Amino acid sequence: MFFSIDPNNGVAIYEQIVRQVTFAVAEGTLCPGQLLPSVRQLGQQLAINPNTIARAYQQLQADQVIETLRGRGLAVCAGATERCRKVRRSLIAQRLRSVLTEALHGGLKAEEIEQIVGQQLHSLAGSVPTIGSAPEDVASDDAVAMAGE
């Protein structure tokens, strides 16, 4: 599994990790029972403060996405897949609503927005790697790092 961390995108780094783990579980890249990298290991791989990783893991535990397996580490919870699919859908719907609201507020008509969305969706189809796939072109080690599977 690859994490793509962008410190300049306006979303807290810990939240980016939470979202990406949630999306990976929803997609099936991370399966129930599968272990996540340790805080220290992931912190080193992403060149991020381990406290940030720990905060993300705490949030994922609170959201019942991962659980502690004594003596083994952190693993994806049974039943997390469906919860993560609902969260993923809700998050994407909220973000789309925000963009659509901005477009309507800016004076675009619904037909224009539909055309723009259709064009963008068509141009991106098949060219965007999923959470579970490795990016074809890694720009820098700071932006994209591989987490243990």
Q: What is the pLDDT of residues 75-129, one digit of tens each?
A: 999 999 999 999 999 999 999 999 999 999 999 999 999 999 999 999 998 787 7
Q: Which residues contact 103 (CB under 8 A, 6 or more apart)?
A: 112, 113, 116
* Residue 131 scores a pLDDT above 80: no
- pLDDT for 129: 76
The CATH architecture of the domain made up of 2-146 is: Orthogonal Bundle (1.10)
Please state, as a whole number, how many other Cβ atoms lie within 10 Å of the Cβ of residue 37. 21
| Neighbouring-strand partners of residue 67 | 75
Domain boundaries, the chain: 2-146
Torsional sign, CA 139, 13, 120, 130 = positive
pLDDT at 146: 39
Task: Name the pTM for this structure.
Answer: 0.78
